[in-house]
Chain A
């Protein structure tokens, strides 16, 4: 596709449930990022993939959060035993490996609401 695609755009779930958020990056982009943005805050880094491997997962808040990118393209962010504090917009971004412009191309986000 032309841009980064994220599904679902909105997800409402109950506390304790399991959630999967999907990201389809721009074709040919080897780097993929997950960020979380709460209201009135900037994006908070969660994890970054270069190809299939997680190059930096230092932003994952705890072991309830996990992300995969098995074929180096689509990525899934998985949240177990959701808590109300997990409510936020989850942003996915992709970029090319080469160059140093730092330009991340963001998707429109998945808004997660945990009741």
Chain B
């Protein structure tokens, strides 16, 4: 079992709709969770982090964490074509190391 698992997609969503991206992790002791966005041919960039159970909102993005189910999700409201990218879920291991999932490729269709 991989430490961080994501559906590789591709996930196709119409413009203006809600995109929902999911991630599960295997280490029940994990405390910190991150979503990175990676445009094709570019490097990953942090878009959100979450530590506590529940929802965390930042503009059009909402991260959701359920530690009991070992599940993290990212919702993107009012999806735009510029949101088309690969979204990487990451879990912190130890003091500083991030373990990434394989990423979900998201396409927003105009």
Please report the total number of B residues contacting A with Cβ < 8 Å.
25
Q: Are the CB atoms of A102 and B32 closer together than 8 Å?
A: yes
Q: Are the CB atoms of A108 and B42 closer together than 8 Å?
A: yes
For A91, the chain B residues whose CB sits under 8 A away are 43-44
Which single residue of chain B is at the shortest CB-CB distance from A100?
B32
For B44, the chain A residues whose CB sits under 8 A away are 43, 91, 104, 106
Identify which of B4, B92, B97 contacts A56 (C-beta below 8 A). B97
Which single residue of chain A is at the shortest CB-CB distance from B92?
A102
Q: Are the CB atoms of B98 and A102 closer together than 8 Å?
A: yes
Identify which of B46, B98, B102 contacts A45 (C-beta below 8 A). B98
Asked if B49 is at the interface (CB within 8 A of a chain A CB), the reply is yes
Q: Are the CB atoms of A42 and B101 closer together than 8 Å?
A: yes
Identify which of A31, A48, A100, A108 contacts B43 (C-beta below 8 A). A108
Q: State in angstroms the CA–CA spacing of A104 and B97 once bound together.
A: 10
Please report the total number of A residues contacting B with Cβ < 8 Å.
25
For A100, the chain B residues whose CB sits under 8 A away are 32, 51
Asked if B90 is at the interface (CB within 8 A of a chain A CB), the reply is yes
Q: Are the CB atoms of B49 and A40 closer together than 8 Å?
A: no
Asked if B21 is at the interface (CB within 8 A of a chain A CB), the reply is no
Asked if B29 is at the interface (CB within 8 A of a chain A CB), the reply is no
Interface residues of A in 95-114 (CB under 8 A from B): 95, 97, 100-104, 106-109
> Which of A31, A95, A102, A109 counts the most chain B CB atoms within 10 A?
A102
Q: Are the CB atoms of B94 and A104 closer together than 8 Å?
A: no
Interface residues, chain B, with chain A CB atoms under 8 Å away: 4, 6, 8, 32, 34, 42-46, 49, 51, 88, 90, 92, 94-103
* A-B interface, 10 closest residue pairs, ranked by CB to CB distance from nearest: A42-B100, A106-B43, A103-B46, A42-B102, A43-B100, A42-B103, A102-B34, A41-B102, A42-B88, A42-B101
Would you list 10 pairs from A and B whose C-beta atoms are within 8 A, ordered by A residue?
A41-B103, A42-B4, A43-B44, A45-B100, A48-B97, A91-B44, A102-B32, A102-B98, A106-B44, A106-B45
